[in-house]
Amino acid sequence: MIFKHLIDRLIVAPHYLANYGYTDGSGEYYIAIDTDKCNGCAECVKVCPAQILEIITDDYDQEVAVIKEKKRKNIKYECAGCKPVSNRPELPCVRACKPIAIKHSW
């Protein structure tokens, strides 16, 4: 039984990272949301000054955060206000996310 339990744990699906953004000549601009960790609490939505995040119900009937579709090709500029060149503070969306589900590539 213990062996079966270990096997069950080993075959649990890996975290699913939903990546939103793009690559251009100046770099890679992606926001990744771990949909296994995201609990749909909407704290990131509340604190985002650019209002690029929203909560949707996904294919598994779970509420998760996503980047709004019309903002995905512009996130470098949408997020610029949170990302000064020097003395960059912790990002509001990252700070608000208790399950640590949000990562930025830049």
Number of residues that bind ligand SF4 (CB under 6 A): 26
Pull the structure tokens for residue 81: 């206000």
Residue 17 near ligand SF4 by CB under 6 A: no
Among the listed residues 32, 36, 50, 103, the single contact to ligand SF4 using CB under 6 A: 50
1, 8, 34, 97 from 55: Cα distances, Å: 40, 31, 13, 13
Q: Least distance from C-beta 45 to ligand SF4, angstroms? A: 7
Among the listed residues 41, 58, 73, 76, the single contact to ligand SF4 using CB under 6 A: 41
Task: Report the chain's C-alpha Rg in angstroms.
Answer: 16
Our CB check for ligand SF4 shows the closer of 6 and 56 to be 56
